[in-house]
Structures are given as structure tokens and as C-alpha cells.
Amino acid sequence: MVQKVSVMVVDDSALMRKMISDMINMEDDMEVIAIARNGEDLLEKLKKQVPDVITLDIEMPKMNGIEALKKVMELKIPTKVIMISSLAQDGAEETMECLENGAIDFVPKPSGSISLNINVVREILVSKIRGIRFVRNTSSISNTKDVDIKEGKTREIHRVSQVLKIRERDSRPKVIRNKEIGNKKISAIVMGASTGGPKALFNVITNLPEKLGVPILVVQHMPEGFTKAFAERLNKFSKVKVVEAREGMSIEKDVVYIAPGGKHMEISRSKTITLNLESPMWGVRPAVDKLFISGAKVFGENLLGIILTGMGRDGADGIIEVKKAGGATISEDESTCIIYGMPKAAYDTNMIDEVIPLYDISKRIANIVLGDVKN
């Protein structure tokens, strides 16, 4: 018999604590073992018992969710945190900060200015808790400093133990499956990620050079209401321009386009962005496969497809189409994935050219696109 996933529910609202607890306790493979009213109460409860998962509300009195998350990360205990977030703009921005500070994932709060169907919220919540079984232990990853590339000054971007260190090393692929892709002409890049993706994409995109000379289109599995804040946060710390994609946008060099939550993003023959509300693929919308398949049709052998951390197999079919069109493909190495699901599914297609750890991907992109130069 599989051991149940133990959960601690943290929320200042008694109603919300009961609602979330009931959602979890309805499942046979998980159970709520404790509740806490705020961040201070959470830290006291953790002295007595450590759950597999903490669901943590962001807006609480005494010690809010962001402060509590940082304290939990400092403890380096074997627990994973899922944020419960408001769909309001402020809530979305705070959620992005939490993902950078060690939270594994987030769930939209089943109340607020935009009300979600309670059954939809329950389905999302239990799915993410269930997926915790596949999350790697990242507590040993050390703090790092990065460069404020817009001002040219060194500054600390991440202050938490969950951030992967950008190492000074030759950016060569760890594994080469097919012919090396270093001499291939690349006109566009497509990327896909899911669980752990916001942190991974932050790592890759903020370390790209200002003049890469190609557009980058990204699908990160994220619900409506959060991708705008994600794009804005990336743009704040990146040399390249980062925007949330809109219908009809022309695809331009040195711009990163983030697919909006709740809509599939595809590339038209005229090299503009098209968004649609077609049925979800693999239970998600936007889907990585949609972007990759459309990109392969437009850019053919000049497309580079990259799959980062995430649960499931979204992107694997897209990788096949990129390779069939003559394009180049990369997957993140298992050693740096929060969840080695999507990269493994892509690798198992036998269509991945290179397998690269996260801390080398931005440098490798520059090597491939610009030639063997320093990033």
C-alpha cells in the first residue's frame, strides 16, 4: 500500500482551512495531519511534525506567506510548499516571488475577485499534491548572486537555497544523442516547462545576452491571471525584452514571448502569434506541443526546441515534429530538474540532440545561436 502524502494546511481563514482540508481528505492517498492559522503558528507546528507538503496562503496576519516561506526554506526540512494564491494582480506578483523563493508550485485560491469553480480548484490542488512524490530534493542547492544586467552592477537576485548556481564552466552538453548542433543556423527558439518551470525559466532567460538575434517563445503551464506578472518579473531582470504574448503580435528578434495562461499559443505562417481556446492537451492550456508543432512548420530546420522541468509528457510530440523538420533539440538534464517528467518523455522519443544541466542552458543557447562565444 502506498503511504499517504501528509499535508499541513496554513490559512488565517477558518472557512478556507476547512475547505482545503476537506478537498485533501476526500482523496485516499493524502491526508491533512495539521492546520495552522498563520506563519508563526506554522513554524511552531513544524517543531512537532514535518509534513510532506505545506499548503500556504500568501495573505495572513502576523507573518504572511512570503515571510513564512523564507523561514521554512531556512530550516532546510524535507517538506515541499504549495502556495494558495489570489488571482488579483498583487497576488500574482507575490506568487512569482514565492516560486523564486522555494515554493514548488501554486494553486489559485477558490475565492476572490475572480471565482473559480470549486471542483476545478480541488482537481488542481490534489493533482499538485499527488505530484509531490516525483519532486526531487533540492535542499542542497546553494545561494547564488547574479548580475543586474540592466545596470551592470552585481546584486543579489535570489536569497534562498532553492536557486541553481550559474557556474563558470565550458557550456558543453552532458550527453549528445544525435549529431552535434553547434553549427546549425537557428532563427527561432521554443521552450516548454511545467512544475519548477518558473524558476528554471528565470535562470535561463535572465542569463541570455541582450543581442541574441532570434525570438524565443515560451509555454509555461500556468493558469490565467498569472502569466502577465511572470513576464513582467522576467523582463525586470533580463537583458532581453520579455512580454506576455497577445493575438497578432509580430514575432521579433531579441524578444521573449510568454504564452498567456488559459490560451494555446501557436506561430502562424506569417510569423505572428495566434492564440486560441481549443481544447486542452494533456489536461493543460497552453500546451507545449501546440507551440512546438506550429513552430516546426514555420521555422523548419532553423528551429531550436528546449524542454525543461515538468510533470507529464507535454512537449514530447512537439520535439518529434521539430526533429522531423530538421530542427535542433535540447532537454534539461535529470540532475537539475525539479520533476524529470517532460524532459524524460522528450528524451525517450530518441529525438533529443543534447542533454544539458540547467545552469549551462543559457550559455549553450548563446554558443549555438551566436557561435562559440562567451555568454
Q: Please provide residue 305's backbone torsions phi and psi, each rounded to the nearest 5 degrees.
A: -110, 130
Identify any residues that bridge with 153 across adjacent strands, giving them in sequence order. 148
User: Which DSSP string do the residues of 227-243 spell out, in sequence order?
Assistant: HHHHHHHHHHH-SSEEE
Q: Do the bridges between strand 241-244 and strand 105-108 make them parallel or antiparallel, or are there none, so unpaired?
A: unpaired
Indicate if 314 belongs to the active site.
yes
Task: Supply the DSSP symbol for 311.
Answer: S
Cα angle 26, 310, 98 (rounded to 5 degrees) comes to: 75
CB atoms within 10 A of CB 199: 25
Q: Do the bridges between strand 5-10 and strand 30-36 make them parallel or antiparallel, or are there none, so unpaired?
A: parallel
* CA distance linking residue 265 with residue 294, whole number of Å: 9
Query: Active site residue: 85, 171, 194, 238, which one?
Result: 194
Query: Active site residue: 11, 57, 314, 317, which one?
Result: 314
Query: Please, what sign has the CA dihedral across residues 164, 255, 306, 168?
Result: negative
Query: Active site residue: 21, 57, 171, 221, which one?
Result: 221
Query: Please, what sign has the CA dihedral across residues 190, 195, 197, 198?
Result: positive
Identify any residues that bridge with 154 across adjacent strands, giving them in sequence order. 147
CB atoms within 10 A of CB 185: 10
The set of cell numbers assigned to 172 is 558543453
* CA distance linking residue 16 with residue 23, whole number of Å: 11
The set of cell numbers assigned to 216 is 524565443
In total, the chain counts a number of residues equal to 375
How far lies 172's CA from each of 73, 181, 330, 363, in Å?
32, 11, 12, 9
**Catalytic center residues:** 194, 221, 314
